[in-house]
Amino acid sequence: MFPQKRRTRVLAVVTASTLLALTAACSSGGGDQEANDDGTPSGELTVLTWRTDLVEDGTFDEYVEQFKAKYPEVTDVTVEGVTDYEGTVKTRMNTEDYGDVLAIPGSVTPDQLPDFFEPLGDQAEMEKEYRWLNDKSFEGKSYGIPVVGNVQGVVYNKRVWEEAGITEFPTTPQEFLDDLQAVKDKGIAVAPLYTNYKDAWALSQWEGWRGAVTANPDYVNEMTQTDTPWTEESDSGVIDGTIYDVVAQGLTEADPTTTDWEGSKRLLGVGDISAMVLGSWSIPQMQAAAEAAGADPADIAYMPTPSQVDGKFHTVAGGDYNLGINVHSKNKATARAWIDWFNHESGFSEAQVGLSPLIDGPVPAALEGFMAEVELITMNPAPEGKESLFADIDTASGIVTTDPKYRQQIIDDARSGARTKEQIFDDLNSRWAEGRADAGA
Amino acid sequence: MTTAPSGLTGPAVAAAHEPDAARPSRKVPGGVGRGSAWYRRLTPYLFLLVPVGLLLLLTYAPVVNMFWYSVTDWDGLDKTKNFVGLENYVDVFTDPDNVRVFLVSLYYVVGSFVQMALALYFATILSFKVRFKNMWKGILFFPYLINGVAIGLIFLNFLKPGGGLDTVLLNTGLESLVHQWTGDPEVANYALAAVSVWRYTGLTFVMFLGAIQSINSDIYEAASLDGANRWHEFWHIILPSIRPIVGLAFILGISGSLSVFEIPYVMTGGANGTETFVIRTVWMAFQRNTVGLASAMAVVLLVFVLVVTWLQRRIVPDEEVDLT
């Protein structure tokens, strides 16, 4: 019972890797001097990616082949798949050695972008070609381009829902609960809705409903202006209230502490669970798991956030990870060529059943039915000078809405009945108000 | 080790191979002897250079950095670190969530007492004549050799609903005892503390066993002549002899309980009321992006452990054991 060194280990790891990376950066600095000033892509390139699965199955090898075929002067492209992408890359960014092209970690606040990434162009200019640049833009410059666009809602097993007699998308959170209850009454092996509580990040996916519930593209900005974001009608209140209700009504798995993400894909495919709240990026993974389990991948379908404004469903479309260029990169022209090639020619977004980041890009077949019924919303950027305000309040309040922890607490309370929904909302609101005061909002 | 002789002959061989022309150039008579003596005196330091260098680089430098971070508002990424004084330390003690995690440590403190009792029991039994003694020792020590993460994963499958433990209970007619071992907030901490006890009992056991075996066997003989039974031997000979080791196990138990990490982190990720101080520290640093505050928490933990150690030394002085 004594991992005595633990107290220092966390920081030791951080600093040690920093020091090691520094030395590595210094030692490799000498060989990379062949910077190309004429702008022709050439030389070596290092790409960091979070898709370790695509590195392992050879998809990236094909991308590299195609890229090198287009730019014969490029001698080598090293693709580094990074597990725990957020944590690892953030630590590496304390050095200069974090690849040439990389996905911008989510914890980088907009005002930090110029410190770490090369500007790719003026946002206004680039918006003629690309969508969803708001997230990674600061003071009129864009620092990243999303590789694929996602829509947000619920991935579900169509066959199971139809067997329970449900053919229409639920239009209110209450209807969503009733439908799940109907699925449960019909009999289901595990649960109508699976929370993936143990692999907590999945709970953060509910965040995607923000803005869609009230069809308000300014919702997140307005959160910074109120002391009570959690009410019966607000987006946050509907999202977290729905989580509380599904759990309190026993529509989720019996023991959330032992959920299993990899296993949940198969369970959805074979119909042992009927729905999960995840972004549209999850569709291809669910289909693959369904196929592997001998079920029909066509059963996997997508439904919008169960809420309508003026009789229409809405969904927030937004960029997945954004590719950016390391500001310390020695080969920026090639890095830029990689990003452009990736967005225009790699076919990545179609392969991932996502929306193309290009304005006139194609809509994938699996989403066509969904897109026909749903209106897309793109969240508005924070006003000038307040780019980091949301993150500051979020951190200062200690809630950290981007982190699943407070939702795990909601699920704990809903199961044990330790707190009512109202008590939870009151607590969240008072902490949010405190956070606003601390952050000087 | 076989390196010892070659290490001794090494410089001599090197000296013999030195070109003769080099010798007259030395100004001091007996230059060769002096040269190799100087060289030899330096050898241990050269050997020390690497481990000490690594120790400074990988342990002391980060700790010093940690003290510095703990008085800043650094988020782990920003180029500038603003000095905020003791604000982080105030936060550590005023946030009720931070204080609550210390209560979770109490489960592990209780666990460490159970662990010491078990270890002492087995160590005493196995210090007497027992059949298959070494096998039992091996079985008891084995869990400590397994990586903590692996243990977490093993017990995750063992404790999950319908897993190993539930199957055993069902097959032995003890259905009424079946619980959601990590899912029920009432039992989750007990379950995790029990896993921890399972893991570390082996180490405590080996420490106790080593101490017990260093007791002179004449004393047992003398005691048995005086008519002492096993219980008397334990109470009047074994326990007093190993008191310093018991004290050590006590410190390790308390400081270990304050800094529990791997097992609850792997098994529940700190959810469901099982969050420990270190899990919260990691969360603060990497999820909430408040590295400054997390560093302050780490410093507080360091100080706590030092204080516990110091108190223990004051209360149980490390006196010489004298059985005569």
ipTM summary value: 0.80
Phi, psi angles (nearest 5°) of residue A396 = -65, -35
Q: What's the mean pLDDT when you consider all of chain B?
A: 84
CA angle A39, A63, A79 (to 5 degrees): 80
Asked if A98 and A75 sit in the same domain, the reply is yes
pLDDT band at A109 (very low <50, low <70, confident <90, very high): confident
Asked if A229 and A262 sit in the same domain, the reply is yes
Q: Which contacts of A421-424 are long-range, i.e. CB under 8 A and separated by 24 or more positions?
A: A421/A241, A421/A244, A421/A245, A424/A230, A424/A240, A424/A244
Q: What's the mean pLDDT when you consider all of chain A?
A: 86
B160 DSSP 8-state letter: S
Residue A437 lies in a domain: no
Q: Cβ separation of A11 and B298 shorter than 8 Å?
A: yes
- Smallest CA–CA separation between B104 and chain A, in Å? 14
Query: Cα–Cα distance between A40 and A108 in angstroms, integer?
Result: 30
Q: Cβ separation of A3 and B196 shorter than 8 Å?
A: no
Query: Cα–Cα distance between A158 and A299 in angstroms, integer?
Result: 5
The answer to whether the pTM exceeds 0.95 is no
pLDDT tens-digit series, residues A395-441: 889 898 988 899 999 999 999 898 999 999 999 999 999 999 988 87
> B 3-62 residues with CB below 8 A of A?
57-59, 61-62
Query: Cα–Cα distance between A181 and B311 in angstroms, integer?
Result: 58
Phi, psi angles (nearest 5°) of residue A84 = 50, 55
pLDDT on residue A439: 87
Number of domains observed in the structure of chain A: 2
Query: Cα–Cα distance between A32 and B145 in angstroms, integer?
Result: 44
Asked if A192 and A272 sit in the same domain, the reply is yes
Q: Cβ separation of B271 and A14 shorter than 8 Å?
A: no
Of B63, B111, B289, the CB nearest to A107: B289
- Radius of gyration of chain B measured on its C-alpha atoms: 27
Mean pLDDT for A149-158 is 92
- Measured between beta carbons, the chain A residues lying within 8 angstroms of B199 are 1
Count CB-CB contacts under 10 A for residue A96.
18
pLDDT band at B38 (very low <50, low <70, confident <90, very high): confident
How are beta strands A74-81 and A43-49 bridged, if at all?
Answer: parallel
Q: Cβ separation of B298 and A7 shorter than 8 Å?
A: yes
pLDDT on residue A415: 92
Q: What percent of chain A has pLDDT over 90?
A: 51
pLDDT band at A38 (very low <50, low <70, confident <90, very high): low
Beta bridge partners of A131: none
Count CB-CB contacts under 10 A for residue A198.
25
Residue A327 lies in a domain: yes
CA angle A114, A116, A120 (to 5 degrees): 60
- Measured between beta carbons, the chain B residues lying within 8 angstroms of A254 are 161, 180, 183
Residue A128 lies in a domain: yes
Among residues A402, A202, A175, which one has the least CA distance to residue A303?
A175
* C-alpha of A295 from chain center: 27
pLDDT band at B19 (very low <50, low <70, confident <90, very high): very low
Longest dimension (CA), chain B: 93
- Measured between beta carbons, the chain B residues lying within 8 angstroms of A2 are 200, 252-253, 255-256, 259
Q: Cβ separation of A408 and B272 shorter than 8 Å?
A: yes
Joined tokens for residue A213: 């519930």
Q: Provide CB contacts within 8 A for B183, sequence distance 6+.
A: A254, A255, A256, A257, A258, B161, B272
Q: Cβ separation of B259 and A412 shorter than 8 Å?
A: no
- Smallest CA–CA separation between B63 and chain A, in Å? 7
Mean pLDDT for A8-32 is 41
CATH number, domain with residue A208: 3.40.190.10
Asked if A68 and A118 sit in the same domain, the reply is yes
Asked if A72 and A159 sit in the same domain, the reply is no
pLDDT band at B35 (very low <50, low <70, confident <90, very high): low
Task: Select the residue from B189, B288, B304, B308 to test the A interface by mutation, using most A Cβ atoms within 10 A.
Answer: B288
- Smallest CA–CA separation between B203 and chain A, in Å? 9
pLDDT band at B243 (very low <50, low <70, confident <90, very high): confident
pLDDT band at A120 (very low <50, low <70, confident <90, very high): very high
pLDDT on residue B34: 54
Q: Provide CB contacts within 8 A for B314, sequence distance 6+.
A: none
Phi, psi angles (nearest 5°) of residue A273 = -125, 155
Of B76, B183, B256, the CB nearest to A255: B183
- More confident call, B240 vs B9: B240
* Dihedral sign of CA atoms A201, A203, A209, A210 in order: negative
Task: Select the residue from B77, B146, B265, B275 to test the A interface by mutation, using most A Cβ atoms within 10 A.
Answer: B77
Mean pLDDT for A138-153 is 90
CB A167 within 8 A of CB A307: no
> Using CB atoms within 10 A of its CB, is residue B110 exposed (0-12), middle (13-18) or buried (19+)?
middle
A110 to chain B: closest CA residue: B78
Of B253, B262, B291, the CB nearest to A3: B262
Joined tokens for residue A396: 């200062």
- Smallest CA–CA separation between A256 and chain B, in Å? 7
Of A12, A19, A112, the CB nearest to B59: A12
pLDDT on residue A313: 93
Q: Cβ separation of A416 and B58 shorter than 8 Å?
A: no
- Smallest CA–CA separation between A302 and chain B, in Å? 29
**Residue that is last in its domain, among A300, A315, A330:** A315
Mean pLDDT for B133-137 is 92
- Smallest CA–CA separation between A16 and chain B, in Å? 6
Mean pLDDT for A102-109 is 90
Q: Cβ separation of A4 and B160 shorter than 8 Å?
A: no
Asked if A172 and A302 sit in the same domain, the reply is yes
- Tell me how far CA of residue A184 lies from CA of A246, A276, A411, B115, in angstroms: 12, 14, 19, 45
Query: Cα–Cα distance between B237 and B220 in angstroms, integer?
Result: 8
Of A115, A200, A257, the CB nearest to B182: A257
Asked if A126 and A141 sit in the same domain, the reply is yes
Among residues B215, B308, B183, which one has the least CA distance to residue B255?
B308
* Dihedral sign of CA atoms A27, A30, A31, A32 in order: positive
Query: Cα–Cα distance between A42 and A36 in angstroms, integer?
Result: 7
Asked if A135 and A256 sit in the same domain, the reply is no
Query: Cα–Cα distance between A68 and A70 in angstroms, integer?
Result: 5
The contact set of A with B (CB < 8 A) is 1-4, 6-8, 10-12, 14-16, 19, 87, 90-91, 93-94, 107-109, 112, 115-116, 197-198, 200, 254-258, 395, 398, 400, 403, 405, 408, 412, 416
- Smallest CA–CA separation between B272 and chain A, in Å? 6
Q: Provide CB contacts within 8 A for B162, sequence distance 6+.
A: none
pLDDT on residue A116: 94
Q: Provide CB contacts within 8 A for B39, sequence distance 6+.
A: B11
Res B28 pLDDT > 60:
no
Asked if A125 and A260 sit in the same domain, the reply is no
Q: Cβ separation of B259 and A7 shorter than 8 Å?
A: yes
Beta bridge partners of A300: A157
Beta bridge partners of A151: A317
> Using CB atoms within 10 A of its CB, is residue A76 exposed (0-12), middle (13-18) or buried (19+)?
exposed
Please state the domain extents for chain B. Answer: 86-313
Mean pLDDT for A211-218 is 92
pLDDT on residue A20: 44
Residue A117, CB-side half-sphere exposure with 13 Å CA sphere: 30
Residue B257 near chain A (CB below 8 Å)? yes
pLDDT band at B15 (very low <50, low <70, confident <90, very high): very low
**How many residues does the structure list for chain B?**
324
> B 228-247 residues with CB below 8 A of A?
none
pLDDT band at A114 (very low <50, low <70, confident <90, very high): very high
pLDDT tens-digit series, residues A163-207: 999 988 999 999 999 999 999 999 888 899 999 998 888 999 999
Q: Cβ separation of B156 and A255 shorter than 8 Å?
A: no
Joined tokens for residue A272: 């042992």
Joined tokens for residue B147: 């990586």
Res B7 pLDDT > 80:
no
Buried b (16+ CB within 10 A) or exposed e, B217-249: eebbeebeeeebeeeebbeebbeebbeebbbbb
pLDDT on residue B322: 58
Asked if A258 and A311 sit in the same domain, the reply is yes
Res B229 pLDDT > 70:
yes
pLDDT band at B50 (very low <50, low <70, confident <90, very high): very high
Query: Cα–Cα distance between A159 and A175 in angstroms, integer?
Result: 18
Among residues A371, A235, A254, which one has the least CA distance to residue A303?
A371
Asked if A303 and A207 sit in the same domain, the reply is yes
> B 94-113 residues with CB below 8 A of A?
95, 97, 108, 111-112
Question: Range of A49's domain?
Answer: 41-148+318-371
Task: Select the residue from B255, B272, B280 to test the A interface by mutation, using most A Cβ atoms within 10 A.
Answer: B272
B235 DSSP 8-state letter: I
> Strands, DSSP E only, in chain B?
none
- Measured between beta carbons, the chain A residues lying within 8 angstroms of B148 are 3
pLDDT tens-digit series, residues A253-298: 988 988 889 899 999 999 999 999 999 889 988 999 999 999 998 8
Q: Provide CB contacts within 8 A for A342, sequence distance 6+.
A: A63, A147, A323, A348
Residue B114 near chain A (CB below 8 Å)? no
CA angle A296, A297, A299 (to 5 degrees): 75
**How many residues does the structure list for chain A?**
441
Q: Is A376 helix (H, G, I), strand (E, B) or coil?
A: strand
Beta bridge partners of B132: none
Asked if A195 and A275 sit in the same domain, the reply is yes
Q: What is the CATH number of domain B86-313?
A: 1.10.3720.10
Residue B290 near chain A (CB below 8 Å)? yes
A113 to chain B: closest CA residue: B78
pLDDT tens-digit series, residues A309-365: 999 999 998 888 999 999 999 989 999 999 999 988 888 888 888 888 888 777 787
Task: Select the residue from A20, A190, A257 to test the B interface by mutation, using most B Cβ atoms within 10 A.
Answer: A257
Res B64 pLDDT > 90:
yes
Beta bridge partners of A43: A74
Query: Cα–Cα distance between A200 and B187 in angstroms, integer?
Result: 21
Residue B271 near chain A (CB below 8 Å)? yes
pLDDT on residue A259: 87
Res A13 pLDDT > 60:
no
Q: Cβ separation of B182 and A93 shorter than 8 Å?
A: no
Q: Cβ separation of A6 and B261 shorter than 8 Å?
A: yes
DSSP track, A72-130: TTEEEEEEEE-SSHHHHHHHHTTSS-S-SEEEPPTT--GGGHHHHB---EEHHHHTTTB
Count CB-CB contacts under 10 A for residue A312.
12
CB A324 within 8 A of CB A119: no
Instruction: Say how many CB pairs under 8 Å bridge A and B.
Output: 147
Of A8, A19, A416, the CB nearest to B57: A19
pLDDT tens-digit series, residues B138-188: 999 999 999 989 999 999 989 988 888 989 999 998 888 888 888 888 899
